Amino acid sequence: MIKIIIVEDDSVIRNNLTDLINSDDDITCTGAFGNCEDAIKHLDKEVPDVFLMDISLPGMDGIKGMKIILDKFPEIDFLMLTVHSDSELIFKAIKSGACGYLDKSATEQKIIDSIKEVFYGGAPMTSRIAKLVFESFQEKPASGNETSLSNRETDVLDLLCKGKTYKDISSSLKITVGTVRHHIKNIYRKLHVHSKSEAVAKAFKDKLI
């Protein structure tokens, strides 16, 4: 069962998301909060697999909250859910550790599928967000330094290219599955890809392994 925490200041949206998540057999909402501060306090009791996080929140904003949480729990995945269409803000969220980014017009099925995709190593985006990201990359090509992988990330990518599962990689490198997922999230961010297949294709194309 994939455990989710929701952080959304609109109580109607928050309650609807909670009901939606709990209607699925594979995921469960273990906490729903109106601000980051309360969500962070809850982590003393239970740590989720995925945060479904709004960006604009009262008090601490979602990006700052995500950074604080990831400093202590790097294995947690973040899926940002927002109305924002500012490409700079989207990139700030992604560079700060967000695995996926959906706008609030996403369908219920898209939200459910995206939570599962994030948990299993993907980086989902709605089409509108993906278009903004693509356009921004065209305007601002990534520098070589942004795609530089650490030695450990290269090891993980090499095993991914050999078709190894997260569990296989965990066993081979003697690290936890959560740490494997964290490395893969960083690999996706640095390579500017959104799935395992894209990462593998880019690794062979750019001779990264």
| Residue showing tokens 């998301």 | 17
DSSP assignments along 139-187, one per residue:
HSPPPGGGGPPPHHHHHHHHHHHTT--HHHHHHHHT--HHHHHHHHHHH
Span 161-182, pLDDT tens digits: 888 888 889 999 999 988 998 8
Is CATH 3.40.50.2300 what the domain over 2-139 is classified as, yes or no? Answer: yes
| Residue pLDDT tens, the chain, 209 long | 999 999 999 999 999 999 999 999 999 999 999 999 999 999 999 999 999 999 989 999 999 999 999 888 888 999 998 886 666 777 778 778 888 888 888 899 999 999 998 888 777 876 766 666 656 555 555 444 455 899 999 999 999 888 888 888 999 999 998 899 889 888 988 888 766 777 888 888 888 88
Span 107-122, pLDDT tens digits: 999 999 999 988 887 7
Residue 90: C-alpha distances to residues 54, 98, 170 (Å)? 12, 9, 30
pLDDT confidence of residue 137? 53
Euclidean distance between CA atoms 129 and 111, whole angstroms:
14
Residue 73: alpha-carbon gap to chain centroid: 13
pLDDT confidence of residue 109? 95
pLDDT confidence of residue 177? 85
Is CATH 1.10.10.10 what the domain over 144-205 is classified as, yes or no? Answer: yes
pLDDT confidence of residue 145? 46
DSSP assignments along 110-139, one per residue:
HHHHHHHHHHTT---B-HHHHHHHHHHHHH
Structure tokens at 1: 């069962």
Domains of the chain, by residue range, sit at: 2-139, 144-205
